[in-house]
Amino acid sequence: MNGKRPAITIFGGTGDLTFRKLLPALYNRILSGSAPDGQDIIIIGRRAYTDAEYREKAREWVKKFARLPYREETFEAFAQSIRYYRMDFTNLEAYPALDIFLDEQGIETCVFYFAVAPRFFATIAEGLFQIGHAQGSQVILEKPFGESLDDARALNARLEAAFGAENIYRIDHYLGKEMVRNVQTIRFTNPIFADAWDAKHIACIQISALEDVGVETRGGYYDHSGALRDMVQNHLFQILSILAMERPAAFTPEAMHEEQLRVLRALRPLTEESIADQVVLGQYDGYREETNVTPDSKTETYAALKVFVDNDRWRDMPFYIRTGKKLGRREMEVAVVFKSPSPDIAPTVLLVKFQPTEGVYLQFNIKRPGDFEDIMPVKMDFCQSCSIANRINTPEAYERLLSACFHGERSWFSQWDQIETSWKYVDRLEELWGDRTPAAYAPDTAGPREADALLAQDGHHWFREPEVQ
Protein backbone atom coordinates (compact mmCIF):
# COMPACT_ATOMS: atom_id res chain seq x y z
CA MET A 1 0.00 0.00 0.00
CA ASN A 2 0.99 3.57 -0.56
CA GLY A 3 0.94 6.21 2.12
CA LYS A 4 2.97 6.91 5.20
CA ARG A 5 0.43 5.68 7.73
CA PRO A 6 -1.72 2.87 6.38
CA ALA A 7 -4.60 1.98 8.64
CA ILE A 8 -7.05 -0.87 8.82
CA THR A 9 -10.54 0.43 9.48
CA ILE A 10 -12.98 -2.21 10.70
CA PHE A 11 -16.74 -1.83 10.37
CA GLY A 12 -18.39 -4.12 12.91
CA GLY A 13 -15.63 -3.66 15.45
CA THR A 14 -17.75 -4.90 18.38
CA GLY A 15 -18.81 -8.17 16.76
CA ASP A 16 -17.56 -11.73 17.26
CA LEU A 17 -15.50 -11.77 14.07
CA THR A 18 -13.45 -8.79 15.18
CA PHE A 19 -13.00 -9.98 18.74
CA ARG A 20 -12.35 -13.68 18.01
CA LYS A 21 -10.39 -13.46 14.75
CA LEU A 22 -9.28 -10.02 13.57
CA LEU A 23 -7.85 -8.50 16.76
CA PRO A 24 -5.95 -11.70 17.68
CA ALA A 25 -4.63 -11.91 14.10
CA LEU A 26 -3.45 -8.29 14.17
CA TYR A 27 -1.81 -8.85 17.55
CA ASN A 28 -0.05 -11.97 16.25
CA ARG A 29 1.31 -9.93 13.34
CA ILE A 30 2.85 -7.47 15.82
CA LEU A 31 4.39 -10.24 17.94
CA SER A 32 5.75 -12.12 14.93
CA GLY A 33 7.27 -8.96 13.46
CA SER A 34 5.19 -9.04 10.27
CA ALA A 35 3.12 -5.90 10.89
CA PRO A 36 4.14 -2.73 9.06
CA ASP A 37 5.44 0.18 11.07
CA GLY A 38 2.93 2.86 11.81
CA GLN A 39 -0.21 0.84 11.15
CA ASP A 40 -3.24 2.24 12.96
CA ILE A 41 -6.36 0.23 13.73
CA ILE A 42 -9.62 2.18 13.53
CA ILE A 43 -12.54 0.37 15.12
CA ILE A 44 -16.03 1.46 14.09
CA GLY A 45 -18.97 0.40 16.21
CA ARG A 46 -22.32 1.62 17.53
CA ARG A 47 -21.59 1.09 21.23
CA ALA A 48 -20.41 3.88 23.50
CA TYR A 49 -16.77 2.95 24.18
CA THR A 50 -13.84 5.21 24.85
CA ASP A 51 -10.48 4.19 23.38
CA ALA A 52 -9.39 2.93 26.81
CA GLU A 53 -12.58 0.91 27.35
CA TYR A 54 -12.34 -0.74 23.96
CA ARG A 55 -8.66 -1.58 24.47
CA GLU A 56 -9.55 -3.42 27.68
CA LYS A 57 -12.19 -5.42 25.81
CA ALA A 58 -9.59 -6.22 23.17
CA ARG A 59 -7.17 -7.41 25.87
CA GLU A 60 -9.67 -10.06 27.03
CA TRP A 61 -10.12 -11.48 23.53
CA VAL A 62 -6.44 -11.40 22.60
CA LYS A 63 -5.55 -13.30 25.77
CA LYS A 64 -8.16 -15.92 24.94
CA PHE A 65 -7.77 -16.36 21.17
CA ALA A 66 -4.31 -15.22 20.03
CA ARG A 67 -2.12 -17.96 18.54
CA LEU A 68 1.05 -16.54 20.09
CA PRO A 69 1.63 -16.05 23.82
CA TYR A 70 0.19 -12.98 25.49
CA ARG A 71 2.89 -10.48 26.41
CA GLU A 72 1.95 -7.38 28.32
CA GLU A 73 4.49 -5.10 26.68
CA THR A 74 3.52 -6.29 23.19
CA PHE A 75 -0.17 -5.84 23.87
CA GLU A 76 0.38 -2.34 25.26
CA ALA A 77 2.18 -1.34 22.07
CA PHE A 78 -0.57 -2.99 20.05
CA ALA A 79 -3.32 -1.28 22.07
CA GLN A 80 -1.86 2.17 21.48
CA SER A 81 -2.51 1.71 17.77
CA ILE A 82 -6.25 1.18 18.35
CA ARG A 83 -8.71 4.07 17.98
CA TYR A 84 -12.42 3.62 18.60
CA TYR A 85 -14.94 5.63 16.60
CA ARG A 86 -18.62 5.44 17.47
CA MET A 87 -20.79 5.55 14.39
CA ASP A 88 -24.03 4.23 12.96
CA PHE A 89 -22.68 2.95 9.65
CA THR A 90 -26.22 2.56 8.25
CA ASN A 91 -26.61 6.37 8.35
CA LEU A 92 -25.15 7.75 5.12
CA GLU A 93 -25.02 11.25 6.60
CA ALA A 94 -22.46 10.06 9.18
CA TYR A 95 -19.67 9.35 6.68
CA PRO A 96 -18.33 12.87 6.13
CA ALA A 97 -17.62 13.03 9.87
CA LEU A 98 -15.67 9.76 9.58
CA ASP A 99 -13.57 11.37 6.86
CA ILE A 100 -12.76 14.26 9.19
CA PHE A 101 -11.89 11.85 12.01
CA LEU A 102 -9.43 9.95 9.80
CA ASP A 103 -7.81 13.24 8.83
CA GLU A 104 -7.47 14.20 12.49
CA GLN A 105 -5.69 10.89 13.15
CA GLY A 106 -3.19 11.63 10.43
CA ILE A 107 -4.32 8.69 8.32
CA GLU A 108 -3.70 8.90 4.60
CA THR A 109 -4.65 5.45 3.26
CA CYS A 110 -6.91 2.70 4.53
CA VAL A 111 -7.88 -0.89 4.21
CA PHE A 112 -11.61 -0.98 4.98
CA TYR A 113 -12.75 -4.29 6.48
CA PHE A 114 -16.50 -5.07 6.31
CA ALA A 115 -16.86 -7.34 9.37
CA VAL A 116 -20.64 -7.04 9.23
CA ALA A 117 -23.59 -8.97 7.84
CA PRO A 118 -23.63 -9.01 4.01
CA ARG A 119 -26.87 -7.01 3.90
CA PHE A 120 -24.85 -3.97 5.04
CA PHE A 121 -22.14 -4.18 2.36
CA ALA A 122 -23.90 -2.00 -0.19
CA THR A 123 -24.81 0.64 2.40
CA ILE A 124 -21.23 0.95 3.66
CA ALA A 125 -19.91 1.09 0.10
CA GLU A 126 -22.35 3.90 -0.72
CA GLY A 127 -21.27 5.79 2.40
CA LEU A 128 -17.57 5.38 1.68
CA PHE A 129 -18.12 6.54 -1.88
CA GLN A 130 -18.65 10.02 -0.40
CA ILE A 131 -15.33 10.34 1.40
CA GLY A 132 -11.83 11.09 0.22
CA HIS A 133 -10.11 8.35 2.23
CA ALA A 134 -11.96 5.69 0.27
CA GLN A 135 -10.50 6.77 -3.06
CA GLY A 136 -7.91 4.20 -4.11
CA SER A 137 -8.23 2.32 -0.81
CA GLN A 138 -8.65 -1.41 -0.44
CA VAL A 139 -11.72 -3.14 0.91
CA ILE A 140 -12.02 -6.61 2.45
CA LEU A 141 -15.38 -8.36 2.39
CA GLU A 142 -16.52 -11.40 4.32
CA LYS A 143 -18.57 -14.16 2.73
CA PRO A 144 -21.17 -14.74 1.57
CA PHE A 145 -20.80 -12.25 -1.25
CA GLY A 146 -24.41 -11.40 -2.01
CA GLU A 147 -27.52 -13.44 -1.30
CA SER A 148 -28.23 -14.61 -4.86
CA LEU A 149 -26.69 -14.25 -8.31
CA ASP A 150 -28.62 -11.06 -9.09
CA ASP A 151 -27.85 -9.57 -5.68
CA ALA A 152 -24.15 -10.46 -6.02
CA ARG A 153 -23.98 -8.84 -9.45
CA ALA A 154 -25.57 -5.62 -8.18
CA LEU A 155 -23.28 -5.54 -5.14
CA ASN A 156 -20.19 -6.16 -7.25
CA ALA A 157 -21.08 -3.36 -9.65
CA ARG A 158 -21.51 -0.92 -6.77
CA LEU A 159 -18.26 -1.93 -5.09
CA GLU A 160 -16.22 -1.78 -8.29
CA ALA A 161 -17.61 1.68 -9.00
CA ALA A 162 -16.53 2.81 -5.52
CA PHE A 163 -13.15 1.12 -5.17
CA GLY A 164 -12.08 -0.40 -8.50
CA ALA A 165 -11.95 -4.15 -9.14
CA GLU A 166 -8.25 -4.38 -8.25
CA ASN A 167 -8.87 -3.05 -4.72
CA ILE A 168 -11.60 -5.51 -3.68
CA TYR A 169 -10.53 -8.51 -1.59
CA ARG A 170 -13.27 -11.08 -1.01
CA ILE A 171 -11.95 -13.03 1.91
CA ASP A 172 -12.57 -16.75 2.30
CA HIS A 173 -10.68 -17.76 5.41
CA TYR A 174 -10.71 -21.40 4.37
CA LEU A 175 -8.26 -20.43 1.62
CA GLY A 176 -5.84 -19.25 4.29
CA LYS A 177 -5.77 -22.57 6.13
CA GLU A 178 -2.37 -24.25 6.10
CA MET A 179 -3.50 -27.60 4.70
CA VAL A 180 -5.74 -26.04 2.04
CA ARG A 181 -2.68 -24.23 0.77
CA ASN A 182 -0.76 -27.50 1.05
CA VAL A 183 -3.07 -29.35 -1.34
CA GLN A 184 -1.18 -28.07 -4.37
CA THR A 185 2.17 -29.08 -2.88
CA ILE A 186 0.94 -32.58 -2.05
CA ARG A 187 -0.57 -33.02 -5.49
CA PHE A 188 1.99 -31.42 -7.80
CA THR A 189 5.30 -32.31 -6.12
CA ASN A 190 4.68 -36.02 -5.46
CA PRO A 191 4.64 -38.19 -8.60
CA ILE A 192 2.74 -40.97 -6.81
CA PHE A 193 -0.20 -38.56 -6.63
CA ALA A 194 0.46 -36.23 -9.57
CA ASP A 195 0.52 -39.08 -12.09
CA ALA A 196 -2.69 -40.62 -10.76
CA TRP A 197 -4.75 -37.48 -10.15
CA ASP A 198 -7.59 -38.17 -12.58
CA ALA A 199 -10.77 -40.18 -13.15
CA LYS A 200 -8.79 -43.14 -14.51
CA HIS A 201 -7.21 -43.75 -11.10
CA ILE A 202 -9.57 -42.08 -8.60
CA ALA A 203 -13.00 -43.49 -7.73
CA CYS A 204 -14.29 -40.36 -6.01
CA ILE A 205 -13.22 -37.29 -4.04
CA GLN A 206 -15.09 -36.31 -0.87
CA ILE A 207 -15.07 -32.84 0.68
CA SER A 208 -16.52 -32.68 4.19
CA ALA A 209 -17.05 -29.70 6.50
CA LEU A 210 -18.92 -30.90 9.59
CA GLU A 211 -19.88 -28.94 12.69
CA ASP A 212 -20.91 -30.17 16.11
CA VAL A 213 -22.80 -26.97 17.04
CA GLY A 214 -26.13 -25.63 15.84
CA VAL A 215 -26.86 -22.06 14.72
CA GLU A 216 -26.30 -20.71 18.28
CA THR A 217 -26.81 -16.91 18.18
CA ARG A 218 -26.82 -16.69 14.36
CA GLY A 219 -30.39 -17.92 13.80
CA GLY A 220 -31.54 -14.74 12.04
CA TYR A 221 -28.65 -14.82 9.58
CA TYR A 222 -28.59 -18.56 9.08
CA ASP A 223 -32.33 -18.93 8.48
CA HIS A 224 -31.95 -16.61 5.53
CA SER A 225 -28.75 -18.22 4.29
CA GLY A 226 -28.72 -21.96 4.96
CA ALA A 227 -25.91 -24.43 4.38
CA LEU A 228 -25.77 -23.91 0.61
CA ARG A 229 -25.14 -20.17 0.76
CA ASP A 230 -23.17 -20.23 4.00
CA MET A 231 -20.69 -22.97 3.04
CA VAL A 232 -21.12 -24.59 -0.38
CA GLN A 233 -21.28 -21.56 -2.68
CA ASN A 234 -18.04 -20.15 -1.32
CA HIS A 235 -15.80 -22.29 0.90
CA LEU A 236 -16.41 -25.74 -0.53
CA PHE A 237 -16.60 -24.77 -4.21
CA GLN A 238 -13.29 -22.95 -3.76
CA ILE A 239 -11.70 -26.08 -2.30
CA LEU A 240 -13.21 -28.14 -5.13
CA SER A 241 -11.62 -25.82 -7.69
CA ILE A 242 -8.18 -26.21 -6.05
CA LEU A 243 -8.48 -30.01 -5.97
CA ALA A 244 -9.63 -30.31 -9.58
CA MET A 245 -7.61 -27.57 -11.31
CA GLU A 246 -4.98 -28.28 -13.92
CA ARG A 247 -1.39 -27.49 -13.07
CA PRO A 248 -1.00 -23.80 -13.96
CA ALA A 249 1.70 -22.76 -16.40
CA ALA A 250 3.11 -20.64 -13.57
CA PHE A 251 2.06 -20.34 -9.95
CA THR A 252 1.01 -16.73 -10.34
CA PRO A 253 -2.27 -15.30 -9.05
CA GLU A 254 -3.54 -14.86 -12.60
CA ALA A 255 -2.69 -18.39 -13.76
CA MET A 256 -4.08 -20.05 -10.63
CA HIS A 257 -7.25 -18.01 -10.87
CA GLU A 258 -7.77 -19.01 -14.49
CA GLU A 259 -7.38 -22.73 -13.77
CA GLN A 260 -9.78 -22.58 -10.82
CA LEU A 261 -12.31 -20.72 -12.93
CA ARG A 262 -12.11 -23.38 -15.64
CA VAL A 263 -13.10 -25.99 -13.08
CA LEU A 264 -16.14 -24.04 -11.90
CA ARG A 265 -17.24 -23.39 -15.47
CA ALA A 266 -16.94 -27.12 -16.21
CA LEU A 267 -19.41 -28.15 -13.48
CA ARG A 268 -22.14 -30.27 -15.04
CA PRO A 269 -25.46 -28.37 -14.85
CA LEU A 270 -28.21 -29.80 -12.67
CA THR A 271 -31.49 -30.74 -14.30
CA GLU A 272 -35.02 -31.62 -13.20
CA GLU A 273 -34.13 -35.26 -13.76
CA SER A 274 -30.76 -35.25 -11.96
CA ILE A 275 -31.43 -33.20 -8.84
CA ALA A 276 -33.04 -36.06 -6.91
CA ASP A 277 -29.94 -38.20 -7.49
CA GLN A 278 -27.38 -35.45 -6.84
CA VAL A 279 -28.67 -33.31 -3.97
CA VAL A 280 -29.71 -34.04 -0.37
CA LEU A 281 -30.76 -31.18 1.91
CA GLY A 282 -31.53 -31.76 5.57
CA GLN A 283 -32.57 -29.95 8.74
CA TYR A 284 -31.77 -31.02 12.29
CA ASP A 285 -34.62 -31.72 14.68
CA GLY A 286 -35.22 -28.70 16.88
CA TYR A 287 -33.89 -26.15 14.39
CA ARG A 288 -37.28 -24.45 14.10
CA GLU A 289 -37.24 -23.76 17.86
CA GLU A 290 -33.92 -21.90 17.68
CA THR A 291 -33.87 -18.16 18.43
CA ASN A 292 -34.81 -15.97 15.41
CA VAL A 293 -35.73 -18.97 13.24
CA THR A 294 -39.20 -19.00 11.68
CA PRO A 295 -41.46 -21.74 13.09
CA ASP A 296 -42.16 -23.27 9.66
CA SER A 297 -38.64 -22.81 8.24
CA LYS A 298 -37.51 -25.01 5.36
CA THR A 299 -33.93 -23.74 5.56
CA GLU A 300 -31.37 -26.51 5.19
CA THR A 301 -28.82 -27.02 7.97
CA TYR A 302 -27.24 -29.86 6.00
CA ALA A 303 -26.30 -30.20 2.35
CA ALA A 304 -24.77 -33.10 0.42
CA LEU A 305 -24.07 -32.81 -3.30
CA LYS A 306 -22.73 -35.08 -6.00
CA VAL A 307 -21.12 -32.89 -8.66
CA PHE A 308 -19.26 -33.64 -11.86
CA VAL A 309 -16.51 -31.70 -13.61
CA ASP A 310 -16.99 -32.24 -17.32
CA ASN A 311 -13.46 -32.12 -18.68
CA ASP A 312 -11.00 -34.72 -19.92
CA ARG A 313 -9.39 -35.22 -16.50
CA TRP A 314 -12.50 -35.72 -14.41
CA ARG A 315 -15.41 -36.64 -16.67
CA ASP A 316 -17.99 -38.90 -14.94
CA MET A 317 -16.02 -39.15 -11.67
CA PRO A 318 -18.14 -37.92 -8.73
CA PHE A 319 -17.06 -35.22 -6.31
CA TYR A 320 -19.10 -35.51 -3.11
CA ILE A 321 -19.54 -32.40 -0.98
CA ARG A 322 -21.21 -32.32 2.43
CA THR A 323 -21.58 -29.80 5.21
CA GLY A 324 -23.92 -29.41 8.12
CA LYS A 325 -24.58 -28.48 11.72
CA LYS A 326 -25.16 -30.64 14.81
CA LEU A 327 -23.38 -33.63 13.31
CA GLY A 328 -21.71 -34.81 16.51
CA ARG A 329 -18.19 -33.80 15.51
CA ARG A 330 -16.22 -30.85 14.20
CA GLU A 331 -14.25 -31.97 11.21
CA MET A 332 -13.09 -30.65 7.86
CA GLU A 333 -11.21 -32.87 5.46
CA VAL A 334 -10.79 -34.07 1.89
CA ALA A 335 -10.72 -37.79 1.10
CA VAL A 336 -9.26 -38.86 -2.24
CA VAL A 337 -10.43 -42.45 -2.74
CA PHE A 338 -8.41 -44.28 -5.37
CA LYS A 339 -9.83 -47.16 -7.39
CA SER A 340 -9.33 -50.59 -5.89
CA PRO A 341 -7.94 -53.41 -8.07
CA SER A 342 -10.52 -55.78 -6.61
CA PRO A 343 -13.82 -55.48 -4.71
CA ASP A 344 -12.35 -57.40 -1.77
CA ILE A 345 -9.36 -55.07 -1.38
CA ALA A 346 -9.71 -51.79 0.53
CA PRO A 347 -9.02 -48.69 -1.57
CA THR A 348 -5.97 -46.53 -1.20
CA VAL A 349 -7.13 -43.28 0.42
CA LEU A 350 -5.36 -39.94 0.77
CA LEU A 351 -6.96 -37.90 3.55
CA VAL A 352 -6.05 -34.23 3.91
CA LYS A 353 -7.22 -32.94 7.29
CA PHE A 354 -7.90 -29.23 7.82
CA GLN A 355 -9.53 -29.15 11.27
CA PRO A 356 -9.59 -29.75 14.19
CA THR A 357 -6.17 -31.29 13.52
CA GLU A 358 -4.13 -30.49 10.45
CA GLY A 359 -2.26 -33.17 8.60
CA VAL A 360 -2.16 -35.90 5.99
CA TYR A 361 -3.28 -39.52 6.35
CA LEU A 362 -2.57 -42.24 3.79
CA GLN A 363 -4.28 -45.62 3.83
CA PHE A 364 -2.74 -48.33 1.63
CA ASN A 365 -2.49 -52.13 1.48
CA ILE A 366 0.09 -54.68 2.60
CA LYS A 367 0.15 -58.45 3.12
CA ARG A 368 -0.91 -59.39 6.62
CA PRO A 369 2.26 -60.12 8.64
CA GLY A 370 3.01 -63.79 9.23
CA ASP A 371 2.11 -66.92 7.33
CA PHE A 372 -0.90 -65.34 5.69
CA GLU A 373 -1.69 -64.35 2.14
CA ASP A 374 -4.59 -62.02 2.81
CA ILE A 375 -4.28 -58.25 2.40
CA MET A 376 -4.92 -55.63 5.05
CA PRO A 377 -5.04 -51.82 5.02
CA VAL A 378 -2.46 -49.86 7.02
CA LYS A 379 -1.89 -46.17 7.43
CA MET A 380 0.75 -43.49 7.52
CA ASP A 381 -0.23 -40.36 9.39
CA PHE A 382 1.46 -36.94 9.52
CA CYS A 383 -0.02 -34.56 12.06
CA GLN A 384 1.00 -31.02 11.15
CA SER A 385 -0.65 -29.41 14.17
CA CYS A 386 0.56 -31.91 16.77
CA SER A 387 3.91 -30.13 16.94
CA ILE A 388 4.04 -27.11 19.24
CA ALA A 389 6.69 -25.58 16.98
CA ASN A 390 4.43 -25.99 13.93
CA ARG A 391 1.49 -24.40 15.73
CA ILE A 392 3.57 -21.44 16.86
CA ASN A 393 5.26 -20.92 13.50
CA THR A 394 2.19 -21.38 11.28
CA PRO A 395 0.11 -18.22 10.82
CA GLU A 396 -3.62 -18.63 11.21
CA ALA A 397 -5.88 -18.03 8.22
CA TYR A 398 -6.80 -14.44 9.06
CA GLU A 399 -3.20 -13.48 9.78
CA ARG A 400 -2.11 -14.85 6.43
CA LEU A 401 -4.92 -13.24 4.46
CA LEU A 402 -4.62 -9.85 6.15
CA SER A 403 -0.91 -9.82 5.35
CA ALA A 404 -1.66 -10.81 1.74
CA CYS A 405 -4.07 -7.91 1.38
CA PHE A 406 -1.60 -5.41 2.86
CA HIS A 407 0.96 -6.58 0.30
CA GLY A 408 -1.47 -6.63 -2.63
CA GLU A 409 -1.24 -10.42 -3.01
CA ARG A 410 -4.49 -11.71 -4.54
CA SER A 411 -3.78 -15.44 -5.06
CA TRP A 412 -5.81 -16.65 -2.10
CA PHE A 413 -8.83 -14.40 -2.43
CA SER A 414 -12.03 -15.24 -4.29
CA GLN A 415 -12.35 -13.37 -7.58
CA TRP A 416 -15.62 -12.02 -8.95
CA ASP A 417 -15.92 -14.36 -11.94
CA GLN A 418 -15.40 -17.36 -9.65
CA ILE A 419 -18.11 -16.11 -7.31
CA GLU A 420 -20.47 -15.39 -10.21
CA THR A 421 -19.98 -18.90 -11.64
CA SER A 422 -20.58 -20.65 -8.31
CA TRP A 423 -23.67 -18.50 -7.69
CA LYS A 424 -25.08 -19.63 -11.05
CA TYR A 425 -24.82 -23.24 -9.90
CA VAL A 426 -26.36 -22.64 -6.46
CA ASP A 427 -29.15 -20.45 -7.82
CA ARG A 428 -30.08 -23.18 -10.31
CA LEU A 429 -29.98 -25.78 -7.55
CA GLU A 430 -32.33 -23.74 -5.37
CA GLU A 431 -34.65 -23.14 -8.33
CA LEU A 432 -34.86 -26.87 -9.06
CA TRP A 433 -35.23 -27.78 -5.40
CA GLY A 434 -38.17 -25.44 -5.07
CA ASP A 435 -40.38 -25.72 -1.99
CA ARG A 436 -39.36 -29.23 -0.94
CA THR A 437 -39.00 -29.95 2.75
CA PRO A 438 -35.46 -30.86 3.84
CA ALA A 439 -34.93 -34.36 5.24
CA ALA A 440 -35.00 -34.47 9.04
CA TYR A 441 -32.07 -35.76 11.06
CA ALA A 442 -31.41 -36.12 14.76
CA PRO A 443 -28.75 -33.91 16.37
CA ASP A 444 -25.36 -35.54 17.00
CA THR A 445 -25.81 -38.03 14.17
CA ALA A 446 -24.08 -38.19 10.79
CA GLY A 447 -26.94 -36.38 9.08
CA PRO A 448 -29.88 -37.61 7.00
CA ARG A 449 -29.81 -41.23 5.82
CA GLU A 450 -30.43 -39.97 2.30
CA ALA A 451 -26.86 -38.61 2.23
CA ASP A 452 -25.49 -42.12 2.70
CA ALA A 453 -27.72 -43.35 -0.11
CA LEU A 454 -26.30 -40.60 -2.34
CA LEU A 455 -22.97 -42.43 -2.31
CA ALA A 456 -24.29 -45.96 -1.96
CA GLN A 457 -26.04 -45.78 -5.34
CA ASP A 458 -22.54 -45.54 -6.89
CA GLY A 459 -20.98 -48.16 -4.65
CA HIS A 460 -19.26 -45.61 -2.37
CA HIS A 461 -19.52 -44.55 1.28
CA TRP A 462 -18.40 -41.56 3.28
CA PHE A 463 -14.82 -42.27 4.31
CA ARG A 464 -13.84 -41.90 7.94
CA GLU A 465 -10.38 -42.42 9.35
CA PRO A 466 -10.36 -45.59 11.49
CA GLU A 467 -10.27 -45.01 15.23
CA VAL A 468 -6.96 -45.67 16.94
CA GLN A 469 -7.15 -49.04 18.70
The residues annotated as belonging to the active site are 235
Confirm if 51 and 80 have CB atoms less than 8 A apart.
no
Q: Beta strands of 308-413 (E only): which ranges?
A: 319-324, 331-338, 349-355, 359-367, 375-383
Distances (CA, A) of 85 to 192, 202, 208: 55, 54, 40
- With a CB cutoff of 8 Å and minimum separation 6, the contacts of 131 are 95, 96, 98, 99, 102
Phi and psi torsions of 136, nearest 5°:
75, 5
Other C-beta atoms closer than 10 Å to the C-beta of 131 total 18
Residue type, 288: R
Three-class SS state of 422: helix
Render 76-136 in DSSP notation, one character per residue: HHHHTTEEEEE--TT-GGGHHHHHHHHHHTT--EEEEEE-S-GGGHHHHHHHHTTSGGGTT
Provide the Cα torsion 352, 354, 355, 361; round to 10°. Answer: 20
Q: How many CB atoms lie within 10 A of CB 343?
A: 6
Burial tier of 73 (Cβ tally within 10 Å: 0-12, 13-18, 19+): exposed
CB distance 64 to 36 below 8 Å:
no
Q: Is 189 helix (H, G, I), strand (E, B) or coil?
A: coil
- Beta pairing partners, 9: 42, 112
